[in-house]
Structure 1
Amino acid sequence: MATTLAALFGVLVGSFLLGSIPWGVIISRCFYHKDVREVGSGNIGTTNAMRAMGKVGGSAVFVLDFGKGVVSGLAALALARALVAWDPEGCTAFVALMLGDAQQAQAAATTAASNNYLVMLFTSAAFLGCILGHVFSPWLGFKGGKGIAVAAGCLMATFGPVGGLLEIAVFAVVVAATRYVSAGSIAAAAVCPLFALYYCWDNVPAWACCAMGAVVVVWAHRGNIGRLRAGCERRIGSSKGEKEGEDA
């Protein structure tokens, strides 16, 4: 059981460090000889990266940020499965402790049930850790992006491809309807805990990780929320003369 706890802590730390890699800054400095933080809104995410570096540079930032989430989630998934195979007794004891109730613990005392529980818990921890690393990157003075691309990538492992694509669909529909990237980002974050109720229905710690990750993303958009309420947030396709707000 101690091994399982140590592995879970390792997932949080490892995903935080992976999420903290500031690809927007790295690409802008190495290939475009500028700092994305000194252009436009100053955000290191995809939208401002496209503004600073064009479609190629911005797309590269998106792919790499999305990839951070995918790698974090898949690594956590693989570790959980390997742990169940290597130490099934310790894993079932950990799951029984987390569930608490004797009847639930007995039902969980199988390799398959432990595998499912740990996979969801570990991938949800990776989701939270990767978002925290991206938003509070230690390499940028604990500042960073807003976590949407990295969150979407990690949800491909946490919720699976269908759940991840549903999150992306929510983002796309809201952006198409409002022409606000930030509105789509906030909406996708807001529905994440609701989707997690389905995917983590018997796993409260995993749901809590998903909910906390969503809260962090919404918090990172607090400036956008203020501008949306004031009616001065920049829309997609707005003229360059309009006031420029921070990106999602």
Structure 2
Amino acid sequence: MTTLLLVIFAYLIGSFPTGVIIGKVFFNTDIRNHGSKNIGATNAERILGKKAGFAVSIIDILKVFLPVFIYRKLTNDMNTSALIGIAGLLGHCYPIYLKFKGGKGVSSFLGIVFGLNFYVGIITLATWKVLKHITNYVSVSSMISCFISSFIFLYLNGPSVVFFTLFIGSIFIVYLHRTNIKRLLNGTENRVKK
């Protein structure tokens, strides 16, 4: 019962629509009406600027990181911590406050990884940055980085609940990027501006 309540709580926190709030409060702009119409950091950066995009990314990481990190520190239960993180990820992607229309979950996924293991989080973030520089595609670097992080946990802990949770989470991230994949195949995906 306690775990169920924690999962619900993590989902509700994860549902906090950071990009929409920052856009409306500070820029009088609803980013859902512009660009990719996504509420995440990438669209926020394109529409509102780099500082706003960075702020959205950090808050979207923190809103999932904190429940995972606090629970792990209190209980040392990595498996339940990962499940709590997935609840926060689902909250971001299907937020109850926005009629279940949310973001693509990359920052929130990173929040799970940082909450479980700070060093793996650093590696995942560094991998994302390197891949973004090499490919010039945020979507490609995001999808690959998520999978790499899950396999790092496989290396560290073996075929654990944490690995399978993050691996399934990575597949979910790919599913959410299905329109990006179509654009990549068509050669119309947005590249990173230099």
TM-score, normalised to structure 2's length?
0.92
What number of residue pairs does the alignment pair up? 194
Residue number in structure 1 paired with 2:126: 169
1:217 & 1:156 partners in 2: Cα distance? 17
- The one-character-per-residue Cα deviations of 1:159-186 (angstroms, maximum 9, x if unpaired) are x111111111221121110100111001
- Structure 2: any 5+ residue segments left out of the alignment? none
- The one-character-per-residue Cα deviations of 1:5-64 (angstroms, maximum 9, x if unpaired) are x23323322211111111000111112111011111111111211122122222221111
| Structure with greater Cα Rg | 1
1:126 positional shift? 2.1
1:202 positional shift? 5.9
- The one-character-per-residue Cα deviations of 1:58-82 (angstroms, maximum 9, x if unpaired) are 2221111111122121122134x2x
Residue number in structure 1 paired with 2:165: 209
1:200 positional shift? 3.7
TM-score, normalised to structure 1's length?
0.73
Asked if 1:231 corresponds to 2:187, the answer is yes
- Structure 1: any 5+ residue segments left out of the alignment? 1-5, 82-114, 239-248
1:201 positional shift? 2.0
Asked if 1:15 corresponds to 2:18, the answer is no
1:141 & 1:78 partners in 2: Cα distance? 33
Choose the corresponding residue for 1:219, options 158, 171, 175: 175
1:66 & 1:16 partners in 2: Cα distance? 14
Q: Secondary structure at the match of 2:49?
A: helix
Assess, with a 3 A threshold, how the Cα gap between structure 1 residues 199 and 128 changes in structure 2: closer, same or farther: farther
2:164 & 2:114 partners in 1: Cα distance? 18
Q: Secondary structure at the match of 1:21?
A: coil
Choose the corresponding residue for 1:135, options 81, 93, 103: 93
Aligned-residue RMSD, C-alpha: 1.7
Choose the corresponding residue for 1:74, options 64, 69, 76: 69
Mapped contact 2:105–2:173 kept (Cα < 8 A): yes
Mapped contact 1:127–1:210 kept (Cα < 8 A): no
